[in-house]
Amino acid sequence: KQEVTQIPAALSVPEGENLVLNCSFTDSAIYNLQWFRQDPGKGLTSLLLIQSSQREQTSGRLNASLDKSSGRSTLYIAASQPGDSATYLCAEECPYSGSARQLTFGSGTQLTVLP
Partner 1 sequence: GAVVSQHPSWVICKSGTSVKIECRSLDFQATTMFWYRQFPKQSLMLMATSNEGSKATYEQGVEKDKFLINHASLTLSTLTVTSAHPEDSSFYICSAREDPRTGGTDTQYFGPGTRLTVL
Query: Which member of 18, 28, 107, 112 binds partner 1 (CB under 8 A)?
Result: 107
Rule CB under 8 A: say whether 46 interacts with partner 1: yes
Piece in contact with partner 1 (CB under 8 A), picked from 18-26, 44-52, 55-63, 74-82? 44-52
| Residue 66 near partner 1 by CB under 8 A | no
Q: Which residues of 50-89 are buried (b: 16+ CB within 10 A; e: fewer)?
A: beeeeeebeeeebbbbbebeebebbbebeebeeebbbbbb
Shortest distance, position 78 Cβ to partner 1, whole Å: 24
Pick from 11, 19, 49, 62: which binds partner 1 (CB under 8 A)?
49
Residue 71 interacting with partner 1 (CB under 8 A): no
Cβ nearer to partner 1, comparing 32 with 80: 32
